A and B are shown apart, each in its own frame.
Chain A
């Protein structure tokens, strides 16, 4: 017996034009029973948890139809480049039968009533909003058709809607714009709808360019620092010479206040703030400041001392209960600190008055920002308005509201509106980092089978105070009992680790655990959080297991992988990338997979580690081994916008390659050395693979998967595996070039470099 189509409940809301809202109370997907021996993410992963956390308040997500024929929707998520405004417009267009161009998706300001439903992270936006947005759109279309039926004198069932026009069998028609007020309701009304069948989709699944591309390429796209808020003058902070130091006193305040353009100076907990007519004059003032500082949190410490502390905290690996004849493979890897800074630095506009405050910033968790700002200002939450501005990248950085809180404090102290921006040098030196971590693995095998695989990560503490941690505490009851039992007693980090890490191979007894120590650093969840490190460690060991067992890396993986989707992406990159083709000495292929975000990714790369490539010269650039080719295959379930998904894979690859080869921060004498993009070596054009391709797998799934982070881990791992095969030596510390500090370290006092004056000598 075929199951009937599922109905969803929602509301037509009272309004002057048509306003609708979705109710998700009945829309929670049924989850499968618990098979034994499965890893947590197979039963219930971070996506499920975030979706459950969002569900109870999703009924407050509304879509409004306007008299000009457009529909608007303020998404309670943040656009940082991942393309959700475009994909959300497509989802609405599909269900509404309205052109994508007629849909305006904006970013909702902080809405405390949404509770857990306003956090952008974990590549979860489409996973958790796909159904409620469709339900709202379907209700809107139903109300429009009802109004059209009355107007055109025809039965609803006989009406056709297309591109924002409803047509009756007699050819008469009416536009959505004309219906917007007629379809409006005087009271809230509960209705039941069914959603479009997948076979009828004409927008979802078709490649589409970004709706904000024109604004981006003409310079019209507005970021926080492009906003004009009256009186909000440029503001910067003179920061301490060591990590998390604090200011005692500005000794030459009068002199600073006399400098050209300088208006205000104020001491805050993070340093000495200066407000001036231009940011250039803020920089000049910072360089002239004579400040007495208190020590920081890691005075005198270095990479080595932090690593020694991690080693001390490492818990011994278990002695596996396997046949004593089994062979053991053991490895230990180290992953250094890395910066999640975006190109747009930390920034925020704040206008704090006696009885109220208004903030504009790129914020992925605006409700928490609002609470924290209110607390910092000694105000109640309703006195603080937080506007969410589209961000110039995030990569985890904008989960925290560091700049927004700092701007609010400075504005309060100065009694003036401020436009606060961090200097680039501040970002790697005082900003959020991906923590240093060690990953140890012990695997056993016998008779062609892997009997056990234990992975134990020991990490500097990851700060989860941005809301995801709290989401777990309040939502874990929703998880299957078995998951709740396993997570019981875990802290935030261990829970997130357990909810995201899945080693999808039949390796007998598989355990993956995280231990943490050392909370003295400013950390955060960088794009793909724990997975790039764990994947690099796992896939390198898997290559070693394959070699010991006399098997080809691809064949080995295909033999042991558990699920067909992951095997299919792996086979796809192997076919497209011609796995196993002969390469000259010093060049090799590498192959790796990753399963997360309701999907899976495989990456094949070719790398050139020959001296003439490694030693190629780029002015002030890190060259090193060159990835000459990358082939990515992704199964992200139901894909809304394949072109956007490809873009996320391309970006994810750039991130993953940088994590393995080039990008890290060096701690020495209590501070991080990096202060510029020519110090912190994120992927640049001279590192980009000349050949790059993405294959989006067809899927009959009704479940959209995550995209933003899905490409990072397998990319990092494939590059590591290729490097190990090309050099015939497995690297154990990442990035591989961390041992070389290939730049002249900029001054710590003053904490920002001088602005150059020779720009006219470098024109081209």
Chain B
């Protein structure tokens, strides 16, 4: 079986698995990294949102064989380390605003939010309501308003 090597939450890891297996299952089923959640498996619900080289991606829709050894995958578990703190400002905003209800979608929401803030900054602007409208991550508990408030707070502290 092929050896797959990539950087996961700051550490290079190697795992024996076929090229074709999607990264989500490599993370969850083989490596026991369970922060990214399954909600649809077809890049729709966004519950598995994580980062690749600092940008948001959905590991349910990427073959592990398509990762290179230098690709840096960051899951919610590795997010605080990217800022060298106990919690990323976006996670802190989520706690301050008491966003989670069941909590299932929240790792993906937070990873999507941090990437979105960075994206609009690259575009030389700050978050607009229309950006928030386009976030596709589903929260079936329906706590969308608090998610929007938390993103604005998190962005101020990023």
CB distance from A716 to the nearest CB of B (A): 13
List, in ascending order, chain A residues with CB within 8 A of B23's CB: 759
Q: Which of A326-334, A554-562, A647-655 lies at the interface with chain B?
A: A647-655
Q: Residue A740 at the B interface, CB < 8 A?
A: no
The reply to whether A684 and B61 contact each other, CB–CB distance below 8 Å, is no
User: B95 → chain A, closest Cβ, in Å?
Assistant: 5
A36 at the interface (CB under 8 A from B): no
- Whether A650 pairs with B143 at a CB distance below 8 angstroms is yes
Q: Which residue of A has the minimal Cβ distance to B118?
A: A764
Residues of A close to B110: CB separation below 8 A? 217
Are the CB atoms of A759 and B43 closer together than 8 Å?
yes
How far, in angstroms, from A255 to B39 measured CA to CA in the complex? 29
Let me know if B55 and A756 touch, CB within 8 A.
Answer: no
Query: A212 — which chain B residues lie within 8 A by C-beta?
Result: 100, 103
Give the CA-CA distance A261 to B64 in the complex, in Å.
Answer: 15
- Interface 1/0 per residue, A447-484 and B, CB below 8 Å: 00000000000000000000000000000000000000
Whether a CB of chain A sits under 8 angstroms from the CB of B26 is: yes
CB of B61 within 8 A of CB of A260, answer: no
A650 to B42, CA, bound (A): 28
State whether A281 touches B142 (Cβ < 8 A): no
8 Å CB contact of B47 from A216, A343, A643: A343
Q: A690 to B17, alpha carbons, bound, how many Å? A: 46
List A residues 388-411 near B (Cβ within 8 Å): 390-395
Q: How far is the CB of A625 from chain B (nearest CB, A)?
A: 15
Cβ contact within 8 Å between B30 and A277: yes
Question: B91 and A218: CB pair below 8 A?
Answer: yes
Stretch at the interface among A7-15, A79-87, A721-729: A79-87
Q: A209-B95, A684-B136 are in contact. Are A226 and B102 (CB under 8 A)?
A: no
Shortest C-beta distance, B94 to chain A (Å), equals 5
- Of A54-62, A133-141, A675-683, the one contacting chain B is A675-683
Check if A213 sits within 8 Å of B94, measured CB to CB. Answer: yes
- Whether B39 pairs with A393 at a CB distance below 8 angstroms is no
Nearest CB in chain B: distance from A569 CB, A: 20
At the interface, yes or no: A26 with Cβ under 8 Å from chain B? Answer: no
Residues in B neighbouring A423, C-beta threshold 8 A: 41
> Smallest CB–CB gap between B46 and chain A, Å?
9
CA distance A196 to B142 in the complex (A): 35
Contacts of A716-755 to chain B: CB distance below 8 A: 752-755
Let me know if A304 is at the binding interface, CB within 8 A: no
Q: Is A172 an interface residue (CB 8 A)?
A: no
B70 to chain A, nearest CB (A): 14
B62 touches A260 (CB 8 A): no
A676 touches B42 (CB 8 A): yes
A residues in contact with B25, CB < 8 Å: 234, 278-281
Chain B residues, Cβ within 8 Å of A395: 140
Q: What DSSP secondary structure best describes chain A's contact surface?
A: loop
Cβ-defined contact, A213 with B95, below 8 A:
yes
What 0/1 pattern do residues 575 to 610 of A give for CB contact below 8 A with B?
Answer: 000000000000000000000000000000000000
Find chain A residues with CB under 8 A from B38 CB. Answer: 225, 279, 345, 421
Q: Which residue of B lies closest to A620 (CB)?
A: B44
8 Å CB interface, A221-268 against B = 221-223, 225-226, 228, 234, 260-261
Q: Kindly identify, within residues 48 to 62 of chain B, every residue whose CB is under 8 Å from any CB belonging to chain A.
A: 52, 55-62
- Asked whether any CB of chain A lies closer than 8 Å to the CB of B21, the reply is yes
Question: Would you call B26 and A278 a contact (CB within 8 A)?
Answer: yes
Which of B91, B133, B146 interacts with A217 by CB under 8 Å? B91
Complex partner residue of B39 from A213, A260, A677, A758, CB under 8 angstroms: A677
Residue of B whose beta carbon sits closest to that of A759? B61
Residues of A within 8 A of B47 (CB): 343
**Contact flag A678-B44 (CB < 8 Å), given A212-B100, A277-B30, A688-B148:** yes
- Residues A764 and B55 in contact in the complex (CB < 8 Å), given A219-B76, A685-B132, A692-B145: yes
- CB distance A643 to B98 under 8 Å? yes
Q: Given that A343-B47, A762-B57 are known contacts, is A217 also in contact with B129, CB under 8 Å in the complex?
A: no
> In the bound complex, what is the Cα–Cα distance between A260 and B107 (angstroms)?
30
**Chain B proximity of A177: nearest CB distance (Å):** 27
User: In the complex, are the beta carbons of B142 and A757 less than 8 A apart?
Assistant: no
Instruction: Name the CB-closest residue of A to B142.
Output: A654
Q: Judge whether A217 and B95 touch: CB under 8 Å.
A: yes
**Whole-angstrom CA separation of A225 from B105 in the bound complex:** 14
Specify which chain B residues have a CB less than 8 angstroms from the CB of A620 in the assembled complex: 44
Report the minimum CB–CB distance from B86 to chain A (whole Å).
9
- Whether B158 sits at the interface, judged by CB under 8 Å, is no
Q: Are A424 and B142 in contact (CB under 8 A)?
A: no
Residues of A within 8 A of B22 (CB): 280, 755
Q: Are A683 and B43 in contact (CB under 8 A)?
A: no
A214 proximal to B (CB < 8 A): yes
A505 to B108, CA, bound (A): 45
Per the 8 Å Cβ criterion, residues 115-137 of B in contact with A are 115-116, 119, 129, 132-137
Is A210's beta carbon under 8 Å from chain B? yes
Q: Is B101 an interface residue (CB 8 A)?
A: yes
Q: How far is the CA of A226 from the CA of B34 in the complex (A)?
A: 6
B21: nearest residue on chain A (CB-CB)?
A280
Judging by beta carbons under 8 Å apart, are B39 and A343 in contact?
A: yes
A218 near B76: Cβ-Cβ < 8 Å: yes
B78 CB to nearest A CB, Å = 9
Q: Does A180 contact B (CB under 8 A)?
A: no
Partner of B56, one of A342, A424, A685, A764: A764
In the bound complex, residues from chain B placing their C-beta under 8 Å from that of A283 are: 41
Interface flag for A1 (CB, 8 Å): no
For A345, the chain B residues whose CB sits under 8 A away are: 38-39
Residues of chain B within 8 A (CB-CB) of A234 are 25, 29
Quick one: which of B45, B87, B103 contacts A221, CB cutoff 8 A?
Answer: B103
Chain B residues near A261 (CB-CB < 8 A): 18, 21
Q: Which of A80, A391, A394, A756 is B42 in contact with, Cβ under 8 Å?
A: A756
Q: What 0/1 readout, one digit per residue, does chain B (64-104) give for beta carbons within 8 Å of chain A?
A: 00100000000111001000000100010011101111111
Which listed residue (B37, B63, B140) contacts A682, Cβ 8 A? B140
- The answer on a CB contact under 8 Å between B26 and A391 is no
Provide the residues of chain B in CB contact with A683, threshold 8 Å.
142, 144
B98 touching A677, Cβ below 8 Å:
no
Interface residues of A in 618-667 (CB under 8 A from B): 618, 620-621, 643, 647, 650-655
Q: Enumerate 12 A-B pairs (CB-CB under 8 Å) in ascending A order.
A: A82-B101, A213-B103, A280-B24, A343-B37, A392-B105, A620-B44, A677-B40, A683-B142, A757-B63, A759-B57, A760-B52, A763-B56
B residues near A (Cβ < 8 Å) are 17-18, 20-26, 28-30, 32, 34-45, 47, 52, 55-63, 66, 75-77, 80, 87, 91, 94-96, 98-107, 110, 115-116, 119, 129, 132-148
12 further interface pairs, Cβ-Cβ under 8 Å (given A217-B110, A223-B104, A755-B41): A209-B98, A261-B18, A278-B21, A279-B38, A424-B39, A618-B134, A654-B142, A654-B143, A683-B142, A686-B134, A756-B61, A763-B56
6 closest A-B pairs by beta carbon, nearest first, are: A219-B35, A654-B142, A81-B102, A216-B103, A392-B104, A759-B61
